[in-house]
Structure 1
């Protein structure tokens, strides 16, 4: 018999705490079809392939004291039809109309008296097509697990066998432990503590035996422990000392209304070709294109981007990808700094490639996961305070999920398109989602309407970045090894190398002007051809150079006369 009451894990409890009217902790996604679905078969698919996971029939019971973990409890009046709604898209039923409807649903809270998920079957889309829009609270599972679960409800071929005679189980409160959930929690904690003590005693016995037989074992253990302690201290200190992210059009006070949009799918093979040319991953290329799109939008909003980096939280999956589908949150967050200040697309790819490589080798993800677990044990107020402080150091959340490379069929109809949107913690108003499916890749954006009322403009910039990069690649106009690849366009080649390049090509392109501004910082303008200065500083510095040469000549003349 299934357990009627289950204590929520610390990490799941953390994401439950993060709910706020201006930022709901709900993962959303849709499946698009070119034709209508059989609604009866749709219901049976959910009954047979989703409700086999008990959590989707359990509601959340928060502790009366406000402290401690919430519990999962089977809903005694669970009804599948209370969670799946059938609606029709108003005329003209196009993409813009669907985006408006999904934006409205995205800002609508889930009913806390029922299991925290909901689905809308949307008809009259795009000349006879349909859409299945699903919303699931973050405390049930993370985005990767939920996407895997949703896709596992589909078939790899049409007309696949299915069953409609599996009885739907209702949640009956018949277990005696339901009358004493606090006592059950105490008993579980005592039992858990006994098991942990038993495991700890066995571990200590083995460690003592190893230390007696091999004194060097103590030194090895000390080094290992000190390494992780230093890593944890370093990462936590770095997070605490990070300044708040720069004020841009993406940051500000949030409202309830959200704006959702997604681009037309791009050919994944073209992005692979570009990545192969640069010896970069698909993720490197996509993140670079997103960075370029954000740069263009900020310039459109008259934001200064000359020396701007913006930080994005990136979810990192810490479960094996080949593991069985398991609900709950098993991911962490890392902070990736996007070099928005870099205009040149080639330089931007190189720099993002370097930064993401450094993040992969760092211990930040595991340590951040431990911190989220710790916050999950605390009160909702303390957890929200910690999340707000963390969110203040970034601009948004960006997630990239690889999907299946072949078409899938849901309720006997082919899935034509897939998209999802990540929730944002604290006061973050920008969420960016990337997903690949059946040889194509799509970008989705969710923004706070008060900050960015038209996310489609960012998507247009993203598509322009792709067209520009792909056009340069096809025309063979991309230099794989640009002159400068560091954070702030620092010139890394020696004077001898410059002289050799000048002798061989007759010209040097310095990329960035070498002049200093009045504040003492390097000018951010691009250098003119055959010069190390931009057009603004060119005449000034060349004039000073002439004066210096003239002055040196006069000194030589005076010295000669004196001789």
Structure 2
């Protein structure tokens, strides 16, 4: 009898989200420079080593229990006793000249393909042929297995801090810690729970119904003037990002100096995340103006919030949410950053004093209208439905020191996330060794020329740095 592990409510949501054209997998693109004097067979040997390692740990050896022809979110994880590692670990080559454009085209194609949910839901692609003898690794994992926090824990655990260390296991040979036993409170915090039950959970952690009312007044009652700077979901303007998506994806990247973003934040009394949101807002302003699609009101971003303790070992998902304006309605870069800072501060204030469970419950309550937004996009009537938010922006802190894989130095790390119906654009920033890498993921049909948005975001950073009196050191767009 195979071992069964029931799905959590949040896992069920991510799996139920696997609807037509919506694929709930996340990925990472890692670019490496091989060690000096590496043999011509270096990458082939690395792939052979990966395939020879049959020590696959939990959860990478788990698949969904088959339930026949009827799709359902209420399934269990079961150990795959016949795991085919050759299916999960693959090797690809870029066409000459092997530049960033060719890599982006390949990653766009790989990210457009759904994971086979009859197998453990992950893939690892070794990609050779990059200019300068470099290579890349693209790892795709279903979001029910990990969130950004867990993914970063895995990255650090599977790479070395020195070029000489050669025996670190690959990620699928590193087990994730078991999730703690769910309590009734945790179950109520799942995004599939009813709104009334969620409200009760929040109230139980914030002290009283009156406190609950004050906390949800800003986000859910748009006609109140309690917190005008707080981005209310149904105040978000409808735009082209909120339509129905197709199955094909487009991927673009940017890499910036972390020090530049921090110095901008210091001069303007803003957080690193505020600077990130602001430069994206400026990039979207230019990009949508070029398409003649810029709304008069600011776009609103959905911002995932990690609610784990600092010593949490990772595994599964523990994600809250806030909403914030991106300042796309403001031309001046410094004024835009100030508006973003005010919006995020107000949103984070809502979470002050809440427990982890209460934040999860509050986030679900806040995001409750999103289902109607997605249904409107699927039905082709998105412009006639209330719009909760326009895009997703995530900030994942990464390792501060350089990392290595079998002597190869990790040069850049780019997140590759999830667009969904009514949210055709997802941008994630990840810090690493003095840089930040931005991964832009969008629906190929809904968002034409995604590369132009990446370039416009770099230009937005340059404009903000100049206006703030900071010397810009903007990396090239890829």
Q: Per the shorter chain, which TM-score range? A: 0.7 to 0.9
Q: Which has the higher helix share?
A: 1
Deviations 1:256-283 (A, max 9, x none): 11111002x2111122212111122111
Is 1:255 aligned to 2:255, yes or no?
no
Q: CA separation of 1:320/1:150 partners in 2, compared to 1, >3 Å: closer, same or farther?
A: same
Aligned partners of 2:55 and 2:173 also within 8 Å: no
Match runs of 1:205-354 below 5 Å: 224-227=207-210, 229-230=212-213, 234=217, 237-238=220-221, 242-243=233-234, 245-263=236-254, 265-305=255-295, 307-325=296-314, 327-354=315-342
Distance 1:223 1:372 in 2: 14
Identify the residue that residue 409 of structure 2 maps to in structure 1: 414
Q: CA separation of 1:9/1:294 partners in 2, compared to 1, >3 Å: closer, same or farther?
A: same
> Number of residues paired by the alignment?
418
Distance 2:218 2:65 in 1: 34
Distance 1:46 1:344 in 2: 53
Q: Please identify, of 395-404 and 130-139, the stretch whose mean Cα deviation from structure 2 is larger.
A: 395-404
Identify the residue that residue 466 of structure 2 maps to in structure 1: 471
Distance 1:20 1:68 in 2: 11
Identify the residue that residue 361 of structure 2 maps to in structure 1: 370
Aligned partners of 1:291 and 1:340 also within 8 Å: yes
TM-score, normalisation: structure 2: 0.78
Query: Which SS does the other structure have where 1:152 is aligned?
Result: helix
Identify the residue that residue 212 of structure 1 maps to in structure 2: none
Distance 1:301 1:370 in 2: 38
Distance 1:458 1:153 in 2: 32
Distance 1:320 1:47 in 2: 36
Aligned partners of 1:38 and 1:411 also within 8 Å: no
Q: CA separation of 1:17/1:62 partners in 2, compared to 1, >3 Å: closer, same or farther?
A: farther
Deviations 1:492-523 (A, max 9, x none): xxxxxxxxxxxxxxxxxxxxxxxxxxxxxxxx
TM-score, normalisation: structure 1: 0.67
**61, 68, 75: which is aligned to 1:57?**
61
Aligned partners of 2:95 and 2:129 also within 8 Å: yes
Q: CA separation of 1:222/1:456 partners in 2, compared to 1, >3 Å: closer, same or farther?
A: closer
Query: Which SS does the other structure have where 1:148 is aligned?
Result: helix
Aligned partners of 1:11 and 1:373 also within 8 Å: no
Query: Which SS does the other structure have where 2:452 is aligned?
Result: helix
CA RMSD of aligned residues (A): 3.6
Unmatched segments (≥5 aa) in structure 2: 175-180, 186-203, 224-231, 377-384, 472-478
Distance 1:290 1:50 in 2: 42
Query: Which SS does the other structure have where 1:151 is aligned?
Result: helix
Aligned partners of 1:50 and 1:153 also within 8 Å: no
Q: Which has the larger radius of gyration?
A: 1
Deviations 1:102-148 (A, max 9, x none): 11111101112110000110000123110000100011121221232
Aligned partners of 2:285 and 2:328 also within 8 Å: yes
Unmatched segments (≥5 aa) in structure 1: 170-191, 198-220, 376-381, 477-563
Distance 1:444 1:68 in 2: 29
Aligned partners of 1:139 and 1:329 also within 8 Å: yes
Aligned partners of 1:63 and 1:69 also within 8 Å: no
